[in-house]
Chains A and B, each alone.
Chain A
């Protein structure tokens, strides 16, 4: 009976380890690939280690629990490394099947920047009128560019 249970656990573990790597090979982009091997870590190695605990505990040499140490360590570290990898992938702007969320600037900030830009353009125009400079055209060209840059920065 125990033999059958152990065989079931070992087969489950091996199959899930296999499926995890299959996902690593077959899935399309990095973010979906990241999700495949987590099955191998938790279910696969987890059930293999439980099988090992039962196997070595029933051989008459006392309870053997140091396999649980590996399980615990893997369960703690797997999400941490997955998080770090996802952060690195986002930093490198890897291609994704899903659309990336677009970051929007808060409306108050946009209004504030627009107001500042308008004030600046007013200042420039009044300066030009006061100085009677003949080179009006390049100044007019440069003001919309400046406002665009400001908006892009915000």
Chain B
């Protein structure tokens, strides 16, 4: 059962990544692009977790945790820059 479901789920998440990448390239305003980057890192976490289940290895969770940390910091820094014109005042 899992052997059938995991490739389907991987394909769905890959499609999700492709769509948020389209928004990153297309987005009419800058906050749209930042939101697309935010979605992109969340989707990457989903992809890494799925891949970890697929391979049966727990090595990928540290990478997922790091991506979550860095992605959050990146989003906050970018929106702070949009808000104030500066990151550290």
Please list the residues of chain A having a beta carbon within 8 angstroms of any beta carbon in chain B: 3-4, 6-7, 10-11, 13-15, 17-18, 20-22, 24-25, 30, 33-34, 37, 40-41, 44-45, 48-49, 51-52, 55-56, 59, 64, 66-67, 69-70, 73-74, 77-78, 80-81, 84-85, 87-89, 91-92, 94
Contacts and interface: CB of A to CB of B under 8 A. Distances in A.
Contacts, number: 156
A30 B9 contact: no
B29 A30 contact: yes
How many residues of B sit at the interface, in one of the four size bands? 35 or more
A52 B83 contact: no
- Main SS of the interface on chain A? helix
B89 to A, nearest CB: 15
Nearest to A6: B2
A118 B49 CA distance: 70
Contacts of A15: 12
B50 A14 contact: yes
A30 B45 contact: no
A154 to B, nearest CB: 25
Among all A-B residue pairs, the 4 with the closest Cβ atoms = A14-B9, A21-B16, A88-B82, A84-B79
